[in-house]
Amino acid sequence: MTRADDIEGYHAGLPADERVICAALRSEIAAALPGAVGKVWHGHPVWFLDGNPVVGYSRLKGGIRLLFWSGQDFAEPGLQPEGKFKAAEARFASLADIDPDALRGWLHQARTVQWDYKNIVKRKGVLERLS
């Protein structure tokens, strides 16, 4: 389930080259995570499984960042650590930068490898593994 209007509004504000990247990412995310809820959260499209953020993307200078909240623990290569928790990212300056096989592998891992970000505030910054 996706709040399409929110995400469409986000995409509408992007330059055409970045909109193409985001549309491709959104399509792959929807195919790989059909039960996920997608919405604009903190200004960027993010998909949640059972209320837990798992994947999202945002516009940065020089391209689009795809972020996986639990990505540092994925078995699939190609992501770079981001931040002090378990997040990892990939960046795309053009549509050609996206490796569809790698993206599908990361999305599969996003479903199976999750840390509990939903309750991180309640646990005072301590993450617990969900799966």
Task: Look up the CATH number of the domain holding residue 82.
Answer: 3.90.1150.200
In a 3-state reduction of DSSP, which class is residue 37? strand
What pLDDT is attached to residue 129? 67
21/41 Cα distance (integer angstroms):
19
Entry pTM: 0.87
Q: Is 128 part of any domain?
A: no
Q: Is 126 part of any domain?
A: no
What pLDDT is attached to residue 1? 44
Neighbours of 30 (CB within 10 A): 15
What pLDDT is attached to residue 22? 97
56/46 Cα distance (integer angstroms):
4
What pLDDT is attached to residue 98? 98
4 has pLDDT over 60: no
Average pLDDT, the chain: 89
What pLDDT is attached to residue 5? 75
Q: If you average pLDDT over residues 50-63, what whole number do you get?
A: 93
- Say what the alpha-carbon torsion angle 126, 90, 60, 63 is, to the nearest 10 degrees: -170
115/68 Cα distance (integer angstroms):
11
Instruction: Please tell me the total count of domains within the chain.
Output: 1
**Per-residue pLDDT tens digits for 69-87:** 999 999 889 999 998 888 9
Q: Is 38 part of any domain?
A: yes
Angle, helix 16-32 to helix 100-112, in steps of 10 degrees: 50
In a 3-state reduction of DSSP, which class is residue 128? coil
Q: Is 39 part of any domain?
A: yes
**Per-residue pLDDT tens digits for 104-115:** 999 999 999 875
What pLDDT is attached to residue 94? 97
Could you list the residue range(s) of the whole structural domain that residue 70 is in? Answer: 4-112
